[in-house]
Amino acid sequence: MTTPRHDPVLLDRVVALLTPSLDHTDAVLVDATLGLGGHSEAVLARCELARVVGIDRDPRALELSRERLAPYGDRFTAVHAVYDEIPDVLADLGLAEVDAVLFDLGVSSMQLDLPERGFAYAVDAPLDMRMDPSHTASGPTAADVLNTYEPADLLRVLREYGEERHAKRIVAAIVRERAREPFTSSGRLVALLYDAIPAPARRTGGHPAKRTFQALRMEVNDELRVLERAIPAAIDAIGVGGRVVVESYHSLEDRVVKRAFTAASKSHVPEDLPFVPEGHEPALRLVTRGAEQANADEIALNPRAASVRLRAIERVRPREGAA
């Protein structure tokens, strides 16, 4: 088995955005996408008053992060869950609210770097792509999607989640090939994509399998719908002075985050009022101006930073009904 590695994207900037919320006794960060614990480790090291609750749906990630963060003792708690289950996780831990929530979305370095998980297109591996492979009944594998979806549904997946311009050609090839023999491994799919995508398109825009693999992963793990539930739950979980920080790597993910942050930071008084009456100010404010991106130096050090979009929001007024 390959040893996974982890290079957190925009690590210093993320910690800087989280620190103002975590500089007091008993501060709690929920790392909603724990992975191998790179962001959590930096927070535990630099924010010495804070503790971290790390959530991940991948049992292997939890195992490795527990080992990595063991020196921090009871300042770190690992929880096996999906990040839209934040309210349940906090209730189980007896936490009414927390001080910060971090999301580092998409597939983790560990999942990409372990070929047996089927996320990477550089090696031949079983077409699984479930972020929690222990949940055998939690949904289809990537092979199930390829072999059983109606052509129209496959087309939707590739166009919506992969933004694949050649989706129609790819789906026609998949349907033709699966009738001959069901798909089981990534190598055969990659070969099909090389044949289906025109040569001029293969020479630009990165690996020709990138968009299809991304689309399959997002479909298998229901990522957008989970995110649509998770971001409002995270916003609701933070107390005054608390922050939600999100790193997105796909335009659809960033759109979900932007929409939720914009709605949460807008006043709900009529737009034609010349001023916002006292007590009706927005409960949250945007911390970042739009979406921050990685600079050339960061991208050179960590190519996975090329597509990152970083946003942060802060609660400035109590939640309705909160003491």
37 marked as binding residue:
yes
The annotation status of 272 as a binding-site residue, yes or no, is no
Query: Is 195 part of any known ligand binding site?
Result: no
Taking phi first (over 0 means left), then psi (-120 to 50 degrees means alpha), and beta for anything else, what does residue 212 get? alpha
All residues at 6 or more sequence positions from 75 whose CB lies less than 8 Å from its CB, including other chains: 44, 50, 51, 52
SS3 102: strand
Residue-level pLDDT at 62: 92
Predicted pLDDT of residue 277: 57
Largest CA distance in the chain: 68
Q: Is 31 annotated as a binding residue?
A: no
Encode the chain (323 residues) as per-residue pLDDT tens digits. Answer: 344 455 799 999 999 999 999 999 999 999 999 999 999 999 999 999 999 999 998 888 899 999 999 999 999 999 999 999 999 999 999 999 999 999 999 765 444 445 444 446 556 788 988 877 665 446 789 999 999 999 999 999 999 999 999 999 999 999 999 999 999 999 999 999 989 988 876 666 667 888 899 899 999 988 999 999 999 999 999 999 999 999 999 899 999 999 999 999 987 665 655 555 566 679 999 999 999 999 999 999 988 899 999 999 999 999 876 65
56 is in an annotated binding site: yes
Kindly list the structural domains of the chain, giving each domain's residue range(s) and its CATH number in brackets, ordered by start.
Answer: 11-110+223-315 (3.40.50.150), 132-220 (1.10.150.170)
Residue 315 is inside which H or E element, if any? strand 309-315
pTM score, whole prediction: 0.86
Q: Is 222 annotated as a binding residue?
A: no
Q: What is the pLDDT of residue 237?
A: 98
Strand partners, 102: 31, 245
What local confidence, expressed as pLDDT, does residue 140 receive?
87
Question: What is the C-alpha to C-alpha distance for residues 65 and 247, in angstroms, rounded to an integer?
Answer: 20
38 annotated binding-site participant: yes
- Asked if 276 and 245 touch (Cβ cutoff 8 Å), the reply is no
Q: What is the pLDDT of residue 118?
A: 44
pLDDT at 7: 74
